[in-house]
Each structure stands twice: as C-alpha cells, then as structure tokens.
Structure 1
C-alpha cells in the first residue's frame, strides 16, 4: 500500500519529470516546448520496508504517451549518482532525493517481482498530515504482472507506450496496464 499526503512539492513532479525526459536519448525528437508534458495517470509499487516511494508516471507530449519511473528517498542512494534526478522539498516529509527508476535497484526488484508473481501495483491511500489513512485513491492506473517468462534474465520498462498495440493478459513476462480512457491493456514492461 502507498500512502499519499496532500503535500506541496518544490519543484513539482511534472517539472522534475520534464527536465529528466529532456536529457533522454529516446525523447530527443520530442518538442517539449511546443507540446509540454501533461499528466495522464500514475501507478506505484510497494516498498516492503515502507521507506521509498516508488512511482511510475504516465505523461503525454502531444500524441506521444511516455512512461517515467521515479523513486523518492529520504537520503541519497549509495552508488546512485548516475540515476540521481533532483532534490525535491516535500512539505510533510522534508527533503527527498529523486532517482530514475531503472537506476534504482529497489525499483527494478519491485518491477521484476510484480511481473514474476503476477501481482498488481500498490493500492494508494490518501493520508492526513499525521499519516492516518483516509480513503483509497482509485483514479490511478491499474498495472499488473502476467507471471514469469521462463528463461528471462532481466526486465525492461517501455518509456514510449503504444496504446494502439494492446497485449493480451495471457502473454507471459509482461507488466500490463490500463487507466481511465485506456480500456485495453497496454504493455508497460517486458521480461527479456
């Protein structure tokens, strides 16, 4: 389960995501000035220790749909300099270190676990400033694994999504997702 505070963030998530996307080779042809990123939805994975926020943002630039995984930590990730994205001030939790998900071993482990065990993304709950759960947030993406792919050695997240090419749930080794406005399953990640 993921607890979501009604917090102020500085800089905001979309600002941090935009700056990171601008530096990615796979996004070089995007014109983010003409088509700034817009939030579509997001989903999260659980950190069993409850320490790290693990969130995957689905954003749009014009007609391009992108997926951006991030982790939020209370302290720097040892050995994570190459994956560091930004610092963010959270009005309740304080200073956060933001990392590109695929560069954070915990993100990769949780993504792999979700696919291999046919699990789902974390349920998300609004919490008050003291951390007391209020209600479930349901206006998020539903992401789920399809079970392991025999012989797969690693998992690859898809940064560019293709909603026009939906996958079937029976396919093994996938993370699939859907959300309001996207009624068929979209491939989010693949075991390779």
Structure 2
C-alpha cells in the first residue's frame, strides 16, 4: 500500500508542468536566501569612488548591503546609502555619561590657580572663578572626557576654557597640564588644557566641519540614566556633508586669543574671550547661553 502511494506521488510530480516546477525551485531558492542572507551576497562595486569589498559581517559600513532586499529588511537599512560614514556623523547620537561625584580639588579651584598665568586671561587677581555655562563633546573611544567651560573671574569677561580629563598622563603634554584631581568614582584624573590634546582637536574639527554637535549629557543614578538639560547650545555654520579626514595630533599651537591649533589636515582657532565675529575665515562654531541669546563665535576650522 505504502509503495503504491510513493509511486503515485512521484508520478504526480513528474506530470507537473515546467512552469509549476520553476515556481517550486524559485520558492526553495528564496527560503534558502532568507535562512542565510550572507551567502547570497557577492562582492559588488558600490557607488562611484568606492572599492569592491566582500561581506565582512558589519552591515552598516558598505553601501552595497543596502541594495540587497533581504539585508535591508533584516537590518532596517535605507534603500540607498549615498554618503560616507564621516558625512553621516551629524545624524548619530552622541552621549556623555556623567557621575554624581566629588572632586578634590574642584575644577574651578584648579582653574583659579591656573588661569592667571595664561597670556589671554583678563580678570582681577585673586578673584573667585565661577562657571557661566558649558558643553561636552563625545570621545568615540570612551576614554577621554571632553568639556568646554565658560567661566568668569570676578567682574571680568567670560572666558572659554576647553578641558580634557584622562585616567593617566598624556605623553608629551606636561606643558598643557592644568592639574590633577581625585574623582570619588573614577579615581585620579589628569586635567589638561584641551588645545594640546589630539582627542579634543578631532572632536572640535568634527563639530565644526561635520556638524556632530555637542554630546547629550546623562547622569547615572541607582542604575538609571537621567538626562541633564544643556546649559548652552552650539551650532556650526558648515553644511556637514564634507568628507572629514582624521584631524591628527596638534603639530603647532600658538597661545593667544584665539589659540591657534594646526594639525596635518585642519587649522583650528579657539576663541578665548567670546565676542562679535571678527570676520576670520573658515567654518564657525557659535554658541548661546543664559544672558547671551545672540550666537557668538567660539571656534573656527579650515581644512588644509
């Protein structure tokens, strides 16, 4: 009985039309592709200027992956990727995770001792330094804290002081050291004038030329992240769609107002005492803060 049934099934399959057999083969092919979409990808040439590269398991990097419907559905990719990664930095969420911690000495105490020795500082001697506003950049490696503070000493003008915070000394940067402090959560921290730190140079260039903007700030409290409203806002005059080269380490820094930072690929100017635009060339990073509703230039960038 079973043998007769098997023969009948085989006879029915053989009697099917060529079109029916083709549809069955197509369905099997689609099922195989869905089970393993990576096997269906062959190295393809992306848009003009891109190289031919095979699938490497990183679905967001290569434009040709977005052209494959299975991968596009699986990874929620757009139908077409037209911009390089550096030109899409402005659309990425950037975050700074902060700690409710105690610093000894505090950042303002460090600045009160350090600022009077700067050639660009204007303020009464011995006056207390107060924080006016500030913002942060994100270090993609997550190793360096990057904070720009606007401070005032006594009745003096507002000064812009970018700082970087590190868990170990930065080689060759002794001349940029503001001081050391003890962080109740992270331990010893080395505080630097950020104009001598390559991580700051890269972050500032990205903020001005690629429009990455400031990092969103969060505090972690009892295992939960809580958003902190920014005390100031920054904007860039650049279109944000340029191919951004790596900024590299500062090759030359000229102290003054502005402080000039030259790397292999970009020239940066950091305004120490923000005021009206003086017509300096280059893309501009401007900021507003309480008491200053009109944007003032904070920094300039010019690709080399």
Q: Take 1:51 and 1:144, find their aligned partners in 2: how far apart are those partners? A: 25
Tell me what 2:96 maps to.
Answer: 2
2:270 pairs with 157, 181, 184, which one? Answer: 157
Tell me what 1:19 maps to.
Answer: 113
Q: Which has the higher contact order (CA 8 A, sep 6+)?
A: 1
**Other structure's SS at 2:214 match:** coil
Query: TM-score, normalising length from structure 1?
Result: 0.86
- Higher CA-based Rg: 2
Q: How far apart are residue 122 of structure 1 and its match?
A: 0.7
Q: Over aligned residues, Cα RMSD in angstroms?
A: 2.3
The 5-angstrom pairing of residues 19-58 of structure 1 reads 19-27=113-121, 29-33=122-126, 35-58=127-150
Q: Take 1:92 and 1:159, find their aligned partners in 2: how far apart are those partners? A: 31
Instruction: List alignment gaps of at least 5 residues for structure 1.
Output: none
Query: TM-score, normalising length from structure 2?
Result: 0.56
2:192 pairs with 82, 85, 99, which one? Answer: 99
Q: Which moved more, 1:76-85 or 1:140-149?
A: 140-149
Instruction: List alignment gaps of at least 5 residues for structure 2.
Output: 1-94, 243-264
Q: Take 1:139 and 1:117, find their aligned partners in 2: how far apart are those partners? A: 21
Q: Take 1:2 and 1:178, find their aligned partners in 2: how far apart are those partners? A: 20
> Of Structure 1 and Structure 2, which has the larger fraction of its residues in strand?
1
Q: Take 2:188 and 2:211, find their aligned partners in 1: how far apart are those partners? A: 34
Q: Take 2:285 and 2:224, find their aligned partners in 1: how far apart are those partners? A: 28
**CA deviation digits over 1:150-178, x for unaligned, max 9?**
9x94011111112xx269xxx96111111
The 5-angstrom pairing of residues 83-122 of structure 1 reads 83-122=176-215
Runs of at least 4 residues off by over 6 Å: none
